[in-house]
Amino acid sequence: MRMRCTKLIINLADLRHNFFEIKKTVGEKIKVCASVKADAYGHGAVNCAKELESCGIDFLAVATVDEGVELRKNGIKVPILMLSLCCPEEVRVAVKNNLTPLVFDEEYIDLFEQAAALENAEEFSVHLAVDSGMGRIGCMPERSGILALYISEKPHLVLGGICTHFACADSLEQTDVDYTLQQLEKFNLACMSVEKAGINPGIKHCSSSAAALNLSSANFDMIRAGLILYGYYPSQITENYLASTGRKVELKKVMTFQTEVVAVRPFKKGQSVSYGHTWTASEDTLIAVLPVGYADGLRRSFSPGIKVCINGKLYPVCGRICMDQCMVNIGKDNADVKRWDTAVIFGTCPQGNAMTADDLAVLDSTISYEIMTGISKRVPRIYL
């Protein structure tokens, strides 16, 4: 049976390339934790995790217990860090599947101690989260030593690491740079507080993709790579900026969102296209129909503005994007576009010129993360 022509092409060789490019950048001694939460940013968590595990990844990171359990059920053995909090009913499942949680107060620590006791888990690892200025989860830096001692008193727990998260490390604005350095200073004080309490803080980690590339003093024992693994640079920390500072970091885009032309239809001047007849042909033209729409992740708000790549040329989507289809103006007497030709929404096009997730993010005033994670489950993932 022929697979649906609308699909995501996931190039695992490019994922592997990005991993080793990151290792080269941060140095062999620095561990790498790969973020595979949100189905590996839409790329497919299980397949990406298996590829990264074969590369020698040190840690994987998920958001939810279910995400971690899925990886364990598919044979993933490396440590899995759980970046978001879980409810009491999920705690024992997390322990049973050896998912490493972030903790930051006595109540939450107690929940994991109780679950570890029930599961007879000796030295179950937890990481202490410090709120250095993100304002999301974490203890205040001055409480880190107290909580490290509290963990050390639990017979079934061990402090496996200490971490924080930067709020604006992807920005080069001076106020944001200063804020990041203040966060780094607070995290250093938190680590010192733990050590002064006589506790080994374990793995120290706070660098996300942006800091890993641009703030080596924050890399400590491990960095947490997310966006850069999948081939995108974080905001202002661009390839050109890095090159201008003497650092060459070449990333390859892992995801390509593509479909096929299923019809080419002649339109006369004055004919309109799609709901609300918001677009009307200003001259005789040809309209290509693509079987992809907002239910697949091609947002209605992308049009006008989005252009798809067909045989190396960009053509504008015209009219409103429908739930399952969209229409493209390919111009009058265009013999270059035929039924069943490949149309690249974003990603890699053999002839070049395709838009990127960054380009689409600009159209919708968002970020590339949201574009990639927004590709729906009904779009099959094909792995190369």
Q: Which residues are catalytic?
A: 37, 275
Contact 5, 343 (CB under 8 A): no
Tally of CA atoms within 13 A in the half-sphere of 184 that contains its CB: 18
Residue holding tokens 């905001």? 235
- Residue 189: which of 256, 144, 138, 151 has the closest Cα? 144
- Residue 296: which of 269, 265, 326, 267 has the closest Cα? 326
The letter for the amino acid at 211 is A
Distance CA 115, CA 96 (A): 9
Number of DSSP helices (H) and strands (E) in the chain, helices first: 12, 19
Angle ∠(158,37,162) on CA atoms, nearest 5: 30
**Alpha helix (H) residue ranges in 57-153:** 65-73, 88-96, 106-118, 144-152
The letter for the amino acid at 302 is F
Distance CA 154, CA 117 (A): 10
Is there a cis peptide before residue 316, judged by omega within 30 degrees of 0?
no
Q: In terms of C-beta distances under 8 Å and separation of at least 24 residues, what long-range contacts does 55-58 make, across chains too?
A: 55/16, 55/19, 55/20, 57/19, 57/32, 57/33, 58/31, 58/32, 58/33, 58/222
**In 3-state terms, what secondary structure has residue 154?**
coil
Q: How far is CA 333 from the centre of its chain?
A: 41
